Structure 1
Amino acid sequence: MNIRIMLVDDHPVVRTGMRALLEADARVRVVAEAASGQETLSRLDELASSPDGAPDLVLMDLQLGEGIGGIETTRRVRAAHPSTQVLTVTTFDAEADIVGSLEAGAVGYVLKDSPTDALIAAVFEAAAGRSALSPEVQQRLVRRLADPRTALSPREAEILEALASGASNREIARALFLSESTVKTHLAHLYGKLGVDSRTAALRVARERRLIR
């Protein structure tokens, strides 16, 4: 099986290293690179209209500098090019990132410090549409399933991330297209799941549990 890949990472050195690692396997060919979410979408559209078509797989980092991040880019890639799989390859192992990526349509989630053999294996699994998860990621998901009462919903994770940025209820509501009362309801549920009664405590516990970065 030969695989055509697109690399998405905002660090040129990382892309260069990843390309060298991947193309050491004769079955893999990197056909494009991108440094931002918007560049990814534009480049994919160009490739899709070319004779060879869109790549089989996009390796997606989460933090892409200015503009849309990796999770939203993943969502748009899967909507526009459903035959192209997305594998998240990142340094972040927070539950919000993992769940957000998988909810957006990523077929797998692999950490950048994975052994080379494990990364190559994940690439082939993901390109075939099969789940590919680093062991650490699997453990987080198992713990989440083991105690669903305390698991955060994707929306709650979004609100928690917004809290971490220092946003007010009004700012969170505006950013997520919600009413302030809905934000307050989500916060009440969040506090209950985390066993806290304040924003400061919520962020402290969330970071301790690796729910957010």
Structure 2
Amino acid sequence: MVDPTTQSTSPPTGYHLLLPEDWVQIPLQQGDAEVAVRSIVTSAFARVATDVPRDKLTPLRLELERRLLAAVAEARRAEALEMYLPVKLAGEANLGASFTVSHARLPVRSGPDGGSSRVSDPAEIAVQLLAGESATSASETDLSSGEVDGAVAVRREHVVPADPERGVELASRRVEYLVAVPADPSQWLVAAFSTIGAGNPRDDLAHAMVEWFDALMTTFRWSWT
């Protein structure tokens, strides 16, 4: 059992979420993500009926592995710590969603002498984030502040347009939670969710998935080990 005084005086060593069983976590900074991906694929296809012809399964297995590895590569480029994906086989509903968890950099404050310093008060950072986003973002961006497991948090929701030149064929709906790490003013955690809905980031499925992610974030808890 963790001493309550430790929780108030030292930063957490991790976090946990009540993740549905059809979602999986892939660690990106520790361990071998590629091994984890292949293990996920093997486990998924182990549940397929034995009478399904192998020549039909092999292309599906290779395609699932390819997509997961591509998602891992993209999350690593964004310097994410972990990636979470729904694992579904062909013929089942494809949620077209994922989320990552990463660290965030603190904003820099300019002083009267022209120098700069890091802002250390989470509430002040939240105000700056809200003010900065409101001044530069389109009217469709939804911004709010609150708490996640007792820590100051900023929630940002917006739609990112398709970008075929970068291989992004569909627009996506994004929700980001920026959460201050307790007892460590230099660290913030970002949980970034993305969904394409049923092909339209403003459709009913996209809306339902955003509500699901908001509900999931209510289960977020810091951990001390």
TM-score by length of 2: 0.23
Higher strand share: 2
Larger Cα-atom Rg: 2
Q: Which has the higher contact order (CA 8 A, sep 6+)?
A: 2
Structure with bigger helix share is 1
